[in-house]
A and B are shown apart, each in its own frame.
Chain A
Amino acid sequence: METVLRAKQVNKYFYEPEEFHVLKDISFEVKRGEFLSLIGKSGCGKSTLLYLLSTMDTDYKGEIEINGMRLTGMKQKQLAAFRNEHIGFVFQFHFLLPEFTALKNVMLPAEKLNKYSASEIKDRAYEKLKMLDMQNYAMKQSSKLSGGQAQRVAIARALINDPTIIMGDEPTGNLDTTNTQIVFDILKDLARTKGQTIIAVTHDPEFAQKSDRIIEMKDGEIIKQ
């Protein structure tokens, strides 16, 4: 399988409140279609690493490459366009825009990408909602959805542009067992059938156990992979 993500000698420091070496010489690779769990105790730097990989945090030393593209040193605007096309996010909290319907929330990243026509975008958004069994809630105001429903809409939103990598920051952290199972199955299925790579930070040992691969971190270092 080809490598979709490569991190080389990544180091990061926090300077507030005092200088702190968060990530120490992190190097690893992730293959296409892999379902990877990042685990470790709070404060071990796993979330920090995820946000570096997400291209949103650019303050680090070392090198990050996704899809064969070197992202280190790219301009913010280019990174935003890259995120839009290649990376999908699922957070612990759904972060849906409350003024918009579920459907519109899913459509927005595609409208930003501007690759498909308006009607195609709508069809694709419906399709993604259907995949998550949320098609009946498409026209509902997103602020009126329950936690589990909102999280599924958020996953549909992450999928709309068929990203290479889906990143999750404790994607099931706020969900009950049933919904956690549903979300896990959806992510697993995406990795299997569509070859999309999943990288998820999690505290849930069960979730991590069921994934393809686990990277465990401690004090800013990878201790097991």
Chain B
Amino acid sequence: MIGVNLEIARTHLLAKKRQTLVAMMGVTFGIGMYLLMISFMNGFNEYLEDTLLSSTPDIHIYNDIKTDYSHSILDQVSDTSRMLNIIHHPKPKDITPNIHNPKQIVSDIKTFDNILAVSPQLSSQVFYNNGPVQIPGSLNGVNIIEEAKLTNLQDKMKTGAIEDLMKVDNGILLGHGLATKLNASVGDLVTLASPQGTSMSFRVVGTFQFGIGSLDNVRSYVSLKNVQQLLGKDNQYVTDINIKMKDYTKAKELAATFARKYGYKADDWQVANASAMVSITIRNMMTIVISFTLLVVAGFGIYNIMNMTIQNKLKDIAILKAEGFAGSDIIQIFLFQSLTIGLFGALLGLILGYAMSYGVYSLPFPKNEFMSITHFPVTFHVRHYVFGVVFGLLTTLIAGLMPSLKAGKIDPVAILRG
């Protein structure tokens, strides 16, 4: 029974090869462009997220210095019920920006699920001395092994290796931009001055590049102990605790938990990169809107062509009905045609989409010394391709269904009587 209907549908499609091909190309282009768009946008988002995530910890715990001076020790010695104490331009005293009891906090954090690495650090503003020139920057005292787990620093190394930081006494890893400014390469000595005026010399053991200029031009890594020495602090002195999670999407809740538990400020990566996250969301939104439009336009193409086909085939539909084909048979015949167009169009669209994505992927990215990117970022996710085919078939099904239902309802008498 279905066999006859399929045969008629096939004959119709093959009788008008050019029209069939044009309808298919509508779907092919729609899905091809959708795949290119989504692969490229997704690749770009992933690249951005990747650079952001590797340069910012999933959760950052630090001592947020409070600037609330509404209470003064003066209130305790003078009676505030009779007089008003006014203090002009109050300044904090004996406030230290460090985290108390960091060892205990670190070992406590490690007992939570979903924690990949915890890196306590001591960071400080420093001046890099290059002869008479002082270049401002930041110095991060870290346990380099833990830090590497957070930032994948080993993949970002341009010269040297991170392990050398532990082997060499007073070793330092310089950001690529900073090293260029200091004209320093592996083996050279650089001198750093702390805000307190103390200075120390370090031997360059490597340079790294995150691909973000604002980091690569100012940051350097040394061992935690060296920064404590430079600042004249004890070996418990730590200002930040950075955390890497197994599933970074859960960072937000955990950050709130830590903030409550330890009484320090805990920012998750989304807070730290709020503006970048907004742009990612907007890009995703745009991708969806444009992709949807492309596929819907392809659907309209099919709708038009099926409507035209049915208009041209009114007599055939009438005679088929007279011969004993029911309305449901007619619907099958035309639905099968549009689904065939949809299926083959979609499959060709996958090939086109892959080819175009691959083409863009192979393009070299315009050379840029601040970005560590060599070619356009494009992702190849099976789910995008599956979605393309499913959505393509769905649009053609809907686009074909309306004309087909109409064809099924055609009254043969009106046509046969002329």
Which chain A residues have a beta carbon within 8 Å of chain B's beta carbons? 47, 51, 54, 56-57, 76-77, 80-85, 87, 89, 91, 93, 95-100, 108-109, 111-114, 157, 169
Contacts and interface: CB of A to CB of B under 8 A. Distances in A.
Contacts of A76: 326-327
B6 to A, nearest CB: 11
Interface residues of B, number: 27
Given A77-B326, A100-B11, A95 B319 contact: yes
B318 A112 contact: no
- Which of B8, B323, B325, B327 counts the most chain A CB atoms within 10 A? B323
A111 B3 CA distance: 8
Contact of A47 (B3, B8, B322, B417): B417
Contacts of B315: 95
A84 B328 contact: no
B323 A89 contact: yes
Interface string B316-337: 1011111111111100000000
A99 B1 contact: no
Residue of B15, B318, B322 contacting most chain A CB atoms (<10 Å) = B322
B416 A112 contact: no
B324 A85 contact: yes
B4 interface: yes
Contacts of B326: 76-77, 80-81
Closest 4 CB pairs of A and B: A84-B324, A80-B326, A99-B15, A95-B319
A81 B1 CA distance: 12
B312 to A, nearest CB: 10
A89 B329 CA distance: 19
B413 A109 contact: no
Contacts of A80: 321, 324-327, 329
Nearest to A86: B324
B102 interface: no
A76 B329 CA distance: 12
B323 A109 contact: yes
A108 B8 contact: yes
A54 B325 contact: no
Interface in B3-26: 3-4, 7-8, 11-12, 15
B318 A95 contact: yes
B417 A83 contact: no
A98 B320 CA distance: 13
A214 to B, nearest CB: 22
Nearest to A107: B4
Nearest to A109: B323
Contact of B324 (A47, A83, A95, A100): A83
A56 B321 CA distance: 8
A71 to B, nearest CB: 14
B324 A51 contact: no
Interface in B400-418: 412-413, 416-418
Contact of A54 (B4, B7, B322): B322
A83 B413 contact: no
Contacts of B324: 80-85, 87, 109, 112-113
Contacts of B322: 54, 56, 83, 89, 95
A169 B319 CA distance: 13
Contact of B323 (A47, A84, A169): A84
Given A77-B328, A84-B324, A169-B416, 18 more contacts: A51-B413, A56-B412, A57-B413, A76-B327, A77-B326, A77-B327, A80-B321, A83-B323, A95-B318, A98-B15, A98-B316, A99-B15, A100-B11, A109-B323, A109-B324, A111-B7, A112-B4, A113-B324
B15 to A, nearest CB: 4
